[in-house]
Structure 1
Amino acid sequence: MDILVTGATGNVGRAVLTALAGQGHRLFAGVRDPAHADLAEGVTPVHVDLAEGTGPQQAFDAIFLMRPPQIADPAPFRRFLEAQRRATRIVFLSVQGAERRGYLPHAKIEAVIRDMGFAHCFVRPAYFMENLLTTLAPELKRAGRVYLPAGRLALDWVSARDIAQVIAAALTGATDRASVTVASGRRLGFTEALAAVNRAAGTGFRYQPASLPGYLRHARARGMGWGMIGVMLLLHFLPRFSRPETASGEAEAVLGRPLETIEDWAGRNAGALRALAGADARA
């Protein structure tokens, strides 16, 4: 199969390429600058700019499509997909609950893919464990804490590796589901999640709940743009006022095993977590 992976230099994209490696497929990595892409051997870089809706003018058997966080408009995705055969299988990284929340950008992109008539699978993960190493990492490094207006919000934590392996199964036809929710059914608040991480990785992180005004002041003082602030509130504040999503066991059925626990994830990523904890924390 000829498979295109967009977002190929990010956490999920790289993990998808790893999951597909060695299976005999021709792998193409969609990047904005193919000449300077840092990719594994055997992966061909091709130019993709989802903000502009541009990509390679060649046919693929399957495409992994993910939404850059700064893009909410579905129109560029329609432009990007227009050149592809409708038999091409589109596997889109969506979000848990998108099927019930039509206002989400992910839901609008799902609608575009359906309306264009593509064979598809919408992979809908719960909360990424990797957020501790990406969006939440600056505050962990600076002050050894997670500072969010999440209150006692409990989240279903899942790993990018598990998500990527579900995506690989959908791309290659190992599952023909039109959607897969990646959720374990285990829900942890930030206090409990960080305690598990600390036990497994030997770190000393803490959770400090923020008020909404306090978080907004903090985020702006740290140079966060309003678009990213909106994403953070969508993930960590608004869910406090909605019914928790339920796990269906779909991902376990696809993978044939339980999903990774946050303890196992933290043990696997102990080096990166300790590097954050080793910073000169200042409250």
Structure 2
Amino acid sequence: MKKVLVTGATGNVGKYVVDELLKKGERVIAAGPSFKNPADTFSNKVETVYFDFKKPETFQGVLNDVDRVFLMRPPHLGKPEDLYPFIDEMKLSKIKLVSFLSLMGVEKNTIPPHHKIEKYIEDSELPYAHVRPGFFMQNVSGVQSKEIREKSQVFVPAGNSKTSFIDAADIGLAVATLLHDPESYQNTAHTITGSEALDYYQVAQILSEETGKNIKYAKPSYWKYRRYYIKKRRLDKKYVNVTVALYFMTRMGTAKEVTNDFIRLTGRKPRTFKEFVKENRSSFTS
């Protein structure tokens, strides 16, 4: 049995992809630039390898005995071209299936880099199974949680739009399902969402109910959000600009769709946002 390569293996989604593949009995190679002590990262359950999309010298040997790949774009790489050399390398290795972590609605949205990456994979004639998730619930418990904890505010420029949030753990299960059965899912795309679409007033209400705090939706402008995250939070400007573009598209209704793709792939219902907050309460209160 050949192996599955998981890029971004310690990230929000990658770690769940690894876990779910192991549950399915797959042999996994975890790849990433930040393995300081690989044995501790996955308790010796998987092979690990140093890998960096910007360093082609790290490609050598990484695809040996691999026939399926989970591909994700690191957030700090804003140019789709940064992934092209590795995609070319996968084509030479005759990969059976590459599952790319894309973005909900990206097939109609040429602004995010995910659009061009999808097209490059398709044009390379690699067998693919694109995964197009909605916004991660982990965005709320991660980068957005600082303002929730310290200011009791949800600080995103989403206007009155709705979002069908999905748990990264559910995305990981969906990806593992695709990679475990590559022949069945060649040249397909899957929009993975939660079971409900919420606006950020409802997000704040659920957070308030589950934490006992009075959390409000600040509803900042694009300018105020961008300035705050760059000047105050000191996040990378390219990353913040991508998020502004995503929230612009969200206001146009691109994030509100609710699909059955997760249920169809896994036979399970996706976790609700209320369940997620209850299980991750400490992220919003500590």
Given the two structures, how large is their TM-score scaled by the length of structure 1? 0.88
Pairwise CA distance, 1:173: 0.8
Structure 1 segment 105-184 matched on structure 2, within 5 A: 105-173=113-181, 176=185, 178-184=188-194
Q: 1:72 aligns with which of 74, 78, 89?
A: 78
Q: 2:271 aligns with which of 248, 260, 263?
A: 260
Change (3 A) 1:221 1:171: same
Between Structure 1 and Structure 2, which shows a larger proportion of strand residues?
Answer: 1
Pairwise CA distance, 1:244: 5.4
Moved more, 178-187 or 10-19: 178-187
Q: 2:259 aligns with which of 242, 248, 267?
A: 248
Confirm or deny that 1:208 pairs with 2:218. yes
> Deviation per CA, 1:124-174, whole angstroms, max 9, x where unpaired?
001111001222122223322112222212111110011110000011117
Partner SS state of residue 244, structure 2 = helix
Partner SS state of residue 64, structure 1 = strand
Change (3 A) 1:203 1:172: farther
Q: Percent of pairs identical after alignment?
A: 26
Pairwise CA distance, 1:97: 0.7
Question: Which residue does the alignment assign to 1:19?
Answer: 20
Q: Please tell me the root mean square deviation across aligned C-alpha atoms, in Å.
A: 2.1
Letter in 1 for 2:66: F
Structure 1 segment 184-203 matched on structure 2, within 5 A: 184=194, 186-203=196-213
Q: In structure 1, what is the Cα distance between the partners aligned to 2:23 and 2:229?
A: 43
Partner SS state of residue 209, structure 1 = coil
Confirm or deny that 1:89 pairs with 2:97. yes
Change (3 A) 1:203 1:168: farther
Q: In structure 1, what is the Cα distance between the partners aligned to 2:211 and 2:149?
A: 15
Letter in 1 for 2:59: G
Q: In structure 2, what is the Cα distance between the partners aligned to 1:56 and 1:271?
A: 42
Q: In structure 2, what is the Cα distance between the partners aligned to 1:201 and 1:173?
A: 40
Moved more, 164-173 or 38-47: 38-47
Letter in 2 for 1:44: E
Given the two structures, how large is their TM-score scaled by the length of structure 2? 0.87
Pairwise CA distance, 1:242: 4.7
Q: In structure 1, what is the Cα distance between the partners aligned to 2:284 and 2:68?
A: 34
Q: In structure 1, what is the Cα distance between the partners aligned to 2:255 and 2:137?
A: 18
Confirm or deny that 1:269 pairs with 2:280. yes
Pairwise CA distance, 1:56: 4.3
Change (3 A) 1:211 1:272: closer
Partner SS state of residue 217, structure 2 = strand
Extract unaligned runs of 5+ from structure 1.
276-283
- When the two structures are aligned, how many residues end up with a matched partner? 275
Letter in 2 for 1:39: T
**8 Å CA contact retained: 1:3, 1:28:** yes
> Deviation per CA, 1:7-37, whole angstroms, max 9, x where unpaired?
1111111111111224322111101144433
Change (3 A) 1:72 1:218: closer
> Deviation per CA, 1:206-261, whole angstroms, max 9, x where unpaired?
21111233223322331233212212212323421355553331121001122111
